[in-house]
Homo-oligomer: A and B are copies of this chain.
Amino acid sequence: MTVTSLHDPAHREALWELEAAFDRGDLISVFGRCSVSYEGRAASDLGSGDRLLLLKPDGAALVHTDEGQKPVNWQPPGSEHRAAVREGRLRVTSVRETPEETLRVHFSDVQQLSAMSVTGGRDLELHGSEEDLRTRILERPDLIEAGFEPIGTEHPSNAGPIDVFGVDADGTPVVVELKRRRVGPDAVGQLARYVRAIREELGTEGSSVAEPETEGSSMANPPDDADTTRVRGMLVAPSVTERAAERLADRGFEHVALEPTPAE
- Residue of B2, B65, B186 near A118 (CB, 8 A) is B65
Q: Please name all residues of chain B whose beta carbon is closer than 8 Å to the beta carbon of A31 when the two chains form the complex.
A: 3, 114, 116
Q: Please name all residues of chain B whose beta carbon is closer than 8 Å to the beta carbon of A46 when the two chains form the complex.
A: 121, 123-125
Query: In the complex the two chains form, what is the Cα distance from A128 to B45 in whole Å?
Result: 12
Which of chain B's residues has its CB closest to A8's CB?
A: B3
Interface string of A52-76 (1 = CB under 8 A from B): 1010111010101111110011101
- Residue of B58, B68, B214 near A66 (CB, 8 A) is B58
Contact present for B60 and A67 (CB under 8 Å): yes
Contact present for B121 and A49 (CB under 8 Å): yes
Which of chain B's residues has its CB closest to A247's CB?
A: B193
Q: Please name all residues of chain B whose beta carbon is closer than 8 Å to the beta carbon of A126 when the two chains form the complex.
A: 42-44
Interface string of A9-53 (1 = CB under 8 A from B): 000000000000000010101010001000001111111111110
Q: Is A241 an interface residue (CB 8 A)?
A: no
CB distance from A158 to the nearest CB of B (A): 7
Known: A31-B3, A128-B41, A214-B208. A69 touches B65 (CB 8 A): no
Q: Please name all residues of chain B whose beta carbon is closer than 8 Å to the beta carbon of A35 when the two chains form the complex.
A: 121
